Structure formats: structure tokens, C-alpha cells
Chain A
Amino acid sequence: EIVLTQSPGTLSLSPGERATLSCRASQSVSSSYLAWYQQKPGQAPRLLIYGASSRATGIPDRFSGSGSGTDFTLTISRLEPEDFAVYYCQQYGSSPVTFGQGTKVEIK
């Protein structure tokens, strides 16, 4: 199975700053079948990005995804107060589907 490693584990930033989250795969993710989710306490994950770089419906354009092969990045251009949460990457190019362990974006 493909193991996804997210870094850093925790990112401490201030509102208005840029956040860069990394997701590295143990083998190439076919067809860039990689997604990103945001999760807040007590809530289900919210899809942000699919296909490595396509924004899901209703997602603000401050969220962007990039990458291919084994290295992927989620960028939040300017953090809003509601963006402080845990973020997960997920690959769905090969079975079993796997998720990264998460990156927590916290207020500095």
C-alpha cells in the first residue's frame, strides 16, 4: 500500500500568513489521484482539493494544490481564522485508499 507522510506535524502561523503543507508518497500516485481535506473538531472532513490541483465546489481560491508523482503540496495563500484546523492528504490511485497522518495548523 502507498504510505503518505505529511509534514510538518504542526504548523504555527498567524492569520494572514501563508501556509505550505507537504504530502510525500512512498511510491508514485497514479494520475495524480491525490486529495486534500480539512477537518475541524467534531466535524467530518471537508474536501478541499482533488486530482492534486482541482478545487472542490465552494472552496475559496486561497486554497491551492500542486505536485505530482510522490510530492504534493497544499498552499493556503493567506490564513483566515476559520482555516486553523487539521489537514489530511489522501491517495486514491491504488487500492487500498490511504490517508496521511495529518498536519495541524494552529494559531501562533
Chain B
Amino acid sequence: QVQLQESGPGLVKPSETLSLTCTVSGGSLSNDYWSWIRQPPGKGLEWIGYIYSTGSTNYNPSLKSRLAISVDTSKSHFSLNLRSVTAADTAVYYCARGDGWYYFWGQGTLVTVSS
């Protein structure tokens, strides 16, 4: 059974970079897609983007200019970097397996953007 776990700072200052890592256990990152999704407090879900194990990516156009997703199959993790954050980036960030429908999810991690 694949398990995913997000990790990273829970508080980021405005204009700085939000960095999260998703560690995958119980399976390999190889030959698969890995995604990030976020949910502002009390609101709906927003797709951020995905990466394939070889490194090819697809990003939400609304975030593309600030976003980078990377993968390290040897360390069984993939990462999210979101630059120049504002309060609007405050959300629970989830990692998930897949590029379409998502069966396996991490538990989510709340990131607050505040000075």
C-alpha cells in the first residue's frame, strides 16, 4: 500500500519561497505521476501540478510563473517550490499519486503565509 507524507515549514513569510517535500513509501516513484493539490482554509480544492518520474511536468497556468516541482526517485520523494508567496497561498497542501484521479493522498500539511 502506497503511503505519502508531506513535510516542510508550517509558516512562510510573504515574498519568500514555500518549499514542501512528499515522501513516498510502500512503492516506487518510477514510471508514475505525482501531484500537488491545495485547499485554502474552508474552501475547495485547487490542482497545482504534477511531475512524471522522468522529470516532465505540467503546471496550473495560474501558478506556473512561480512554481517548480522536482522529483528524486533515489530518495523516494518529490518536492514543491512556490516563489513569491502571498496570503492567498495559505492552504493545506496535499501530495497525491497520479495525474488524473487520485486514490492515494498524503494527510496534508497546513502552510500559513504571514509575517
Interface positions of A (Cβ within 8 A of B): 1, 33, 35, 37, 43-45, 47, 50-51, 56-57, 88, 90, 92, 95-102
Contact = CB atoms under 8 A, between A and B. Distances in A.
Nearest to B95: A44
Contacts of B107: 43-44
Given A33-B100, A44-B94, A92-B99, A98 B105 contact: no
Nearest to B108: A44
Contacts, number: 49
Nearest to A50: B101
Is the interface on chain B under 10, 10 to 19, 20 to 34, or 35 or more residues? Answer: 10 to 19
Contacts of A96: 47, 60-62
Main secondary structure of the interface of B (DSSP, over half): loop
Interface of B: 44-47, 58, 60-62, 94, 99-103, 105-108
Given A88-B44, A88-B45, A99-B45, A45 B102 contact: yes
8 contacts: A35-B100, A45-B94, A47-B101, A47-B102, A50-B100, A51-B101, A90-B45, A98-B47
